[in-house]
């Protein structure tokens, strides 16, 4: 829905950008250890925790909720620990 309509309605794009910025701030509050990580690591964790990643694993790759959750969890741990 929304992403396919952004080109027609600039307010949707503005709202989505604001949502992403707010989510990034929330992420740093929820996982304060990320503040000491390089920006690339922060962005990687943000991507792993995004709805788009979850939706792709569940809907298009056909993974279970448990498998998807474990994949996100383990990937985030490895990314954070690599720094």
Quickly state the pLDDT bin for 20 (edges 50, 70, 90): confident
- Tell me: pLDDT of 2 over 70: no
Quickly state the pLDDT bin for 72 (edges 50, 70, 90): very high
Quickly state the pLDDT bin for 1 (edges 50, 70, 90): low
Number of helical (H) and strand (E) elements in the chain, helices listed first: 5, 0
Round to the nearest angstrom and report the end-to-end CA distance of the chain.
37
Q: Is 64 left (phi over 0), alpha (psi -120 to 50) or beta?
A: beta
In tens, the pLDDT along 22-32 reads 888 999 999 99
């Amino acid at each position: 829905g929304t992403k396919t309509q952004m080109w027609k309605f600039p307010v949707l794009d503005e709202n989505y950008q604001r949502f992403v910025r707010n989510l990034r701030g929330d992420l740093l509050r929820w996982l304060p250890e990320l503040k000491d990580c390089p920006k690339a690591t922060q962005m990687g964790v943000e991507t792993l925790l995004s709805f788009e990643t979850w939706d792709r694993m569940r809907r298009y790759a056909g993974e279970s909720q448990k498998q998807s959750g474990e994949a996100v969890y383990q990937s985030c741990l490895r990314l954070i620990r690599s720094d």
